[in-house]
Chains A and B, each alone.
Chain A
């Protein structure tokens, strides 16, 4: 169960970081 929680944490934070990165670069362009 801890493994699934850890997998979720990695997936969630990694996509959060990626999406925030996209938002930042989008703001820079506009």
Chain B
């Protein structure tokens, strides 16, 4: 079997079709996750998020002394309702953006390609910063 080409200009029409549709699937998947996160955050309105998180950890048999669990617990302790609503709205906006990109790419619209390039590349510095911060904190 021939190795699939990743460069656009070297690809066969079938490979182009599959690459675009895999990107679409990735965008829709991210959109669904963020939609779920947004809804879940709204259900936590007026509840103690730290308490809910510890209950979640215990229910799923996760070690409560795990360093990631401790770190998340530190972050979620004392989260206010305003912050919950803010994060929920942010999750819904990001989810909507992912769906617009995904559906636009599925329909092979040029504006969707431009939107995806701009929106995705704008978030790459943020991701790099997060990776740098996490590696610094874990070291």
Contact = CB atoms under 8 A, between A and B. Distances in A.
Interface in A1-30: 2-3, 5-10, 12-17, 19-20
Contacts of A2: 127
- What range describes how many residues of B lie at the interface? 20 to 34
A9 B26 contact: yes
A1 to B, nearest CB: 11
B124 A7 contact: yes
Given A10-B117, A13-B116, A5 B26 contact: yes
A8 B113 CA distance: 13
Given A15-B9, A19-B9, A10 B120 contact: yes
Given A3-B131, A5-B26, A14 B117 contact: yes
B18 to A, nearest CB: 12
Contacts of B116: 9-10, 13
Contact of A3 (B9, B23, B26, B124): B124
Given A12-B23, A14-B117, A17-B114, A6 B123 contact: yes
Interface of A: 2-3, 5-10, 12-17, 19-20
Interface of B: 6-9, 16, 19, 23, 26, 110, 113-114, 116-117, 120-121, 123-124, 127-128, 131
